[in-house]
Amino acid sequence: MSIEAQTLHRETFILNLGPQHPATHGVLRIKLTLDGEYIEDAEPVIGYGHRMHEKMGENRTYAKFLPNTGRMDYVAAMFNTHGYVCAVERLAGITVPERAEFIRVITAELNRVASHLLWVGAFLIDLGGFTPLLYTFDDREQILDLLEAVTGARLTFCYYRFGGVCNDIDDDFIAGTRKFIAHLRSRMPMYHALITKNIIFRRRCEGIGPISAENCRKYGATGPVIRGSGVAYDVRKAEPYSIYPRLDFNVPVYGQGDCMARYLVRMDEIVESLRIVEQALDRLPGGPVMAEKVPRILKPPKGDCYFNVESARGSFGVRVVSDGTDKAYRMKLRSPCFSNLSLFQECSRGMLLADALALLGTLDLVIPDIDR
């Protein structure tokens, strides 16, 4: 058959992947153009759950915006709040007590482990495997029990304050955290036997959904996505903050750029986060958990500040412009999920639909973080 005849008989059709019901926690629609089961184009359609967080940050006081930060990446809410309080503290010249810095890192890294456990379970559901979800959620619940004891919440945490944290951790939290670290370390071989070495899982991930380091840089992808493409970029190492420079941990990197590489990065990060938490507990100093004389109504001097942290999904940045009043003049929030989603359209072209779903799953998207 000639090329002209092939073109004449070629037929494409449009398939909507989503959206789900708009009352759900996050809604993503992808407009797929398919040639049979092969993707010719995949256009993400976002904005179904847009809440205007940045504008809300400009019309309420700095303290009143704190609960908003946990409503973006709700799976790893600690990091959004961490980035926000650090940006405002830098603007206002607030020095955080050392004990509070340690507590922030301990709780944030526990939140990272909880987020990765949720991702592993949900990703296996995307691929058709149900059993791992039961194990990952069992372990994640133990972390949420620990965090609930000190924060009062299990999901949308609002624990950090300008100048420290709202509650100190006690001996029960420390003992419970050490017990959990030992428990999860003993479970990692089981996870690798159940998932990593599973031949069906490997066939669905190895060589599937390759993303080049060049594409990651082009779209601004960060976190496990870029580290799965061989780039050792981690904000905790590249732009050190808090007490991370004093702790010993590795940045997991895999060069294959496929779904398997991104999975392995997150599994290794769980182990590294446990190391970080254990070191922070060992070196936890005494003292206060809040800075002295922090005004109840904060009015930072005029200035412009950007601060980013390494969240569970990549670099989360907060830019705050102060005009000297009790509200931010301008606020900009840099979402890692938005950048990671942006590369999907280009990287999914020519892929089978089933493989593209695996690629989409390894991007680890939290839609309210995109529709902020």
Spatial contact of 335 and 309, defined as CB atoms under 8 Å apart: no
Local confidence pLDDT in tens for the 372 residues of the chain: 455 545 545 689 999 987 765 556 678 889 999 999 999 999 999 988 888 999 999 999 999 999 999 999 999 999 999 999 999 999 999 999 999 999 999 999 999 999 999 999 999 998 989 999 999 999 999 999 999 999 999 999 999 999 999 999 999 999 999 999 999 999 999 999 999 999 999 999 999 999 999 999 999 999 999 999 999 999 999 999 999 999 999 999 999 999 999 999 999 999 999 999 999 999 999 999 999 999 989 999 999 999 999 999 999 999 999 999 999 999 999 999 999 999 999 999 999 999 999 999 999 999 889 988
Task: Give the residue from 128, 118, 80 showing the smallest Cα distance to 354.
Answer: 128
Residue among 363, 72, 16, 335 at smallest CA distance from 215? 363
Nearest partner of 124 among 18, 273, 263, 27, judged by Cα: 263
φ and ψ at 168, to 5 degrees? Answer: -80, 155
- Of the candidates 254, 196, 194, 249, which has an alpha carbon nearest to the alpha carbon of residue 230? 254
How does strand 160-161 pair with strand 164-165? antiparallel
Tokens 């004891």 belong to residue: 149
Per-domain boundaries in the chain = 3-49+94-294+344-370
| The pLDDT value given to residue 210 | 95
Burial class (CB in 10 A: 0-12, 13-18, 19+), 92: buried
Superfamily (CATH) of domain 3-49+94-294+344-370: Cytochrome-c3 Hydrogenase, chain B (1.10.645.10)
DSSP 45-99: E--TT---HHHHTTSSBTGGGHHHHTTSSGGGHHHHHHHHHHHHHHHHTPPPPHH
Do 358 and 126 touch, CB atoms closer than 8 A?
yes
